[in-house]
Structure 1
């Protein structure tokens, strides 16, 4: 076992920013960092690009391939998912002795890490369970008994883990009291990219420009937004509503689809917009405790946002006066959008910019590195 070698594992490691910024922070703190992720086929290009980029930074990427496995297909891809779990376990049997810490993000990586340690007691690495999202609360057709099974397994994994990490104090509601003393909050704040890009879009100066990016799923208020008139709507990302967005963009001049964008491109586009859209359906528990990356990216850019009532971030938005709150219905959203003025948007954007330092990645990064120091005893003197 190498004293300072660690493994970060996540299903779609390079689609969100949580794993990449953690990897870079720990590399900067002089840890030897490997990444383990799932090459689902459909994300092969993203992985290829990330592998090359991280390789130049001295971080090794390991990818597990189990055949072409599209997102959001449920039971159709269950065999691939089981195969993935088996392959992760085998990877750990072969390589786990190298690592002082294995840091698994979300249940689908925490489960095989937990199983590997149960089966093979010779694996002595410490285990961090980082819960970016609670699978059992997702907007999806997962049956109730499976949700219950996942919840029970997840709590067993929490019990086994050295440290549990969550992105927001609102998520503590899903952490049993017995494990809250070893739970640490590492927020979803942005780790600003070292290199910026200019991704210019032809925005309309005469109308308001509203930007939604990320998962194009049905619980994200996208269908409500598509019905809004007299504003310019911009979308970026992948997901189940991608076809509908493309169809609308082909039909209406005020609707634009930019495809899947890298973080640097997202930040460039968002900086040109008037407001960032984060309207999640509050009927799902997953959204009631939302902690979207977009919120912190809006703070970083000094952009106001639109959020939904009863999604926890509405309280944050109201407290700091950094955006607007709507109910999750077309009429309420329409009323909010009609009330927007360019002058007020600038004021709320400035408010967002002013509070960013208090929620910056630098603050969370220090906390993360301290966690690792306490586990690896790095920096201790004799």
Structure 2
């Protein structure tokens, strides 16, 4: 007996950590057709879990590339029947709305980077139309659920952005008078690049390991610094191995919009599994969780410019964080992935 078909719609090349976890989990019960965009498919880790893997090469902000992507969607959508459709973020639901509307009872909308939380002025009509369309909405934590319009809470499921359980024992590699910081994921000025550049100018004992996506020239400059090792895009297991070697994991968000203030960074849960404290700024709401469980260093502000004091604090406190072993089993993808499957199964009922 063949599995039901599922269409997974994203603008990622298949390298994103959360997308990898979701596709792997869904592939246990669905034959997946994946469509995305990427400059290369070398890091398309989801490919092995897909029946069809369709990626347009290029940048999603290129009009020509996006036109090719739209045509790819039409080819995948119009000429094959699917039992379920997984759409990443509201922008893709709205872009393909004229076609997806007719299959709305099959749609699971997965929101982990909300366009409505980025906007300065909310379009409540458009927001309502977007959230009314899918049968199920997925968000990454309870805080994000509460930020949705109240009428849509009943059909919203929280599937947390936890990592896989990490059981390897990896030793820290810095000396007592050195600092090694892991900077990964989406990297840009608004995620802490400028702070690291300032700190590197002050201290030759600070080293940085980078892995992920470089989004601006400042971050490109950082990746080429002699005290920085840039590792490219890594699968999750390798990411966790690197994180375990380091003294801190950087997880900063400039508080320029509600999306950043209400961020639910997987790096916090990576920190738990790796036994490596996180660095987060106080403006991010989830920093209260970090404080409650003593999971890392909380900066008084994203804009804190007392660089010498920051370095002194990081060095002095790097051995002061002790992780509760109960958290290791609680905050894992294995503990929550069944909620993702049930979201699609409930859609098919």
TM range (shorter): 0.7 to 0.9
Distance 1:358 1:201 in 2: 24
Asked if the contact 1:107–1:134 (Cα under 8 Å) also holds between the matched residues in 2, the reply is: yes
Match 1:61 to one of 44, 47, 52: 52
- The answer to whether residue 99 in structure 2 is matched with residue 116 in structure 1 is yes
Q: Specify every segment of 5 or more residues in structure 2 that has no aligned partner in the other structure, as ranges.
A: none
Q: Is the 8 A contact 1:129 1:157 kept in 2?
A: no
The alignment of Structure 1 onto Structure 2 pairs a total of residues equal to: 341
Match of 2:110 in 1: 130
Residue 307 of structure 1 contacts residue 325 of structure 1 at CA under 8 Å; is this kept in 2?
yes
Indicate which of 87, 91, 116 corresponds to 2:72: 87
Cα pair 2:9 2:36 within 8 Å, conserved: no
Equivalent residue runs for 1:62-211 within 5 Å: 62-65=53-56, 68-70=57-59, 74=61, 77-95=62-80, 97=81, 99-118=82-101, 121=102, 123=103, 126-138=106-118, 148=122, 152-192=125-165, 203-204=174-175, 206-211=177-182
Residue matched to 1:24? 24
Equivalent residue for 2:260?
287
Q: Distance in 2 between matches of 1:221 and 1:124?
A: 39
Distance in 2 (alpha carbons) for counterparts of 1:17 and 1:170: 21
Secondary structure in 2 matching 1:19: helix
Tell me which of 233, 237, 252 is aligned to 1:264.
237
Residues of 2 paired with 1:201 and 1:273: CA distance? Answer: 6
Q: What is the CA RMSD across the aligned residues, in angstroms?
A: 3.0
2:308 equivalent to 1:328: no
Structure with bigger RCO (C-alpha 8 Å, 6+ apart): 2
Equivalent position of 1:314 in the other structure: 287
Q: TM-score, normalised by structure 1?
A: 0.79
User: After alignment, is 294-303 or 355-364 more displaced?
Assistant: 355-364
Q: How far apart are residue 367 of structure 1 and its match? A: 2.0
Alignment of 1:218 with 2:189, yes or no, is yes
**CA, structure 1 residues 288+369, in 2 after alignment: closer, same or farther (shift >3 Å)?**
same
Alpha-carbon distance in 1 for matches of 2:175, 2:319: 17
Bigger share in helix: 1
